[in-house]
Amino acid sequence: MTAVLLQDSANDAQSLFERVFWPLYPEDVRDNLAAARESFVNPANDCGLTELIEEIAEAFKLLAPSILGLPQSALDDTDASVHRLGAALTRDRRDRLLLEQTVGRNRTPLLAMIAIHGTAYIGRCIVKNHCGEWLVRRPLWESTVRLHSALGQAELSIFQWWLKSLSDEEVDRVPLGDRYRTYVEVPCFQSESLPVLVPSASRIPRLKRPQYHDVLRHLQAHAPGVVRLGADFPDPERFAQMQLAWLDFLWVGGGRMLLMHGPSSRQGVRLLWLNAEGFVKSAFYPADDVPAHKIKVHGDFVRVILSMQKQVKVHEMPWWGL
């Protein structure tokens, strides 16, 4: 009967929280969850509490791989390990962990223990690798991590990442690693370590109706610091499918990267970042064909200003992309 109920239940983030995690909260916290989330139980950075989180994270590191079908060495406290962890959280595995129960008197879905202890593990990765700081709350999985980066200060609610990533709306995209990249790796990226490709950002002329080989010749003529398009740049067939009306070129980061951007007919705005070795990453934003989008640089941020359904939209990101 339990299996049938779990399989038939809604698995959106709110339903998962109420059905799987809410019974585990202390009664006084359930009386006023908002207040519990606003208050710290470790304002003086008591080592005992952070050591407890450390022990939980270590236990997860040792025990979770066999449960999640990962090699025993997969969780090695690196940023890459969070991506390996996220990739293991498929819909099938989530559903199986919902049905499996922990042992002991107070049995609960194994998924709850994976998410709760996994919160401690991911938090430890942020603390170890990026000088994050625990903000301890009660219960411990409600604790957050304060992160300082070139983009400012943020308070990261890792348990919420788990809830959203395990929900029906998102689980098929296995997005836990994407959240870690967006909120941790991108802000903490050491952009100053990139070599300067051009000492002064000279203007590169627009390329109209570009084809793959046109882009390569254009870069050779106007951006010799970019020596190749790179293995991950869209191949000629994929590039043609973008139906770019034109490409503009913008040096960002003091000449450390080249941002190519242009409108795809009836699709939206495409952005492609290149360094000396070629393609690094891309982004796409749906947009109206007119008016044309604009790119503005403000300090460490790039703003994409476009029209979507005749409404002005602004997308902001660090100059090295998301």
String of DSSP letters for 101-169: B-SSSS--BHHHHHHHHHHHHHHHHHHHHH--EEE--SSGGG-EEEEEETTEEEEE-HHHHHHHHHSTT
CB 117 within 8 A of CB 59: yes
- Confidence at residue 150, expressed as pLDDT on a 0 to 100 scale: 83
Q: Are residues 49 and 183 in the same domain?
A: yes
For 160, the domain range is: 2-188
Q: Mean pLDDT, consecutive 10-residue segments, the chain of 322 residues?
A: 49 94 95 89 72 96 97 97 98 96 86 98 98 94 94 95 97 95 94 86 89 93 90 93 95 94 92 94 94 93 95 95 88
Q: Are residues 218 and 304 in the same domain?
A: yes
Last residue within a domain, chosen from 188, 222, 246? 188
Least Cα distance to 262 among 282, 278, 279, 276 occurs for 282
Q: Are residues 284 and 172 in the same domain?
A: no
Residues ≥6 apart with Cβ < 8 Å to 130: 147, 149, 184, 188
Domain count, the chain: 2
Q: Are residues 153 and 245 in the same domain?
A: no
- Confidence at residue 107, expressed as pLDDT on a 0 to 100 scale: 85
Q: Are residues 166 and 297 in the same domain?
A: no
Sheet of 144-149: strands edge to edge?
A: 133-135, 144-149, 152-156
Q: Are residues 208 and 251 in the same domain?
A: yes
Q: Are residues 154 and 57 in the same domain?
A: yes
- Confidence at residue 80, expressed as pLDDT on a 0 to 100 scale: 97
Q: Are residues 200 and 182 in the same domain?
A: no
Last residue within a domain, chosen from 188, 210, 236? 188
Length of the chain: 322
The upper half-sphere exposure of residue 40, i.e. CA atoms within 13 Å in the direction of its Cβ, equals 15
CA distance 2 to 18: 16
pTM of the predicted model as reported, rounded to 2 decimal places = 0.82
User: Residue 248's Cα: distance from chain center in Å?
Assistant: 27
Q: Are residues 61 and 180 in the same domain?
A: yes
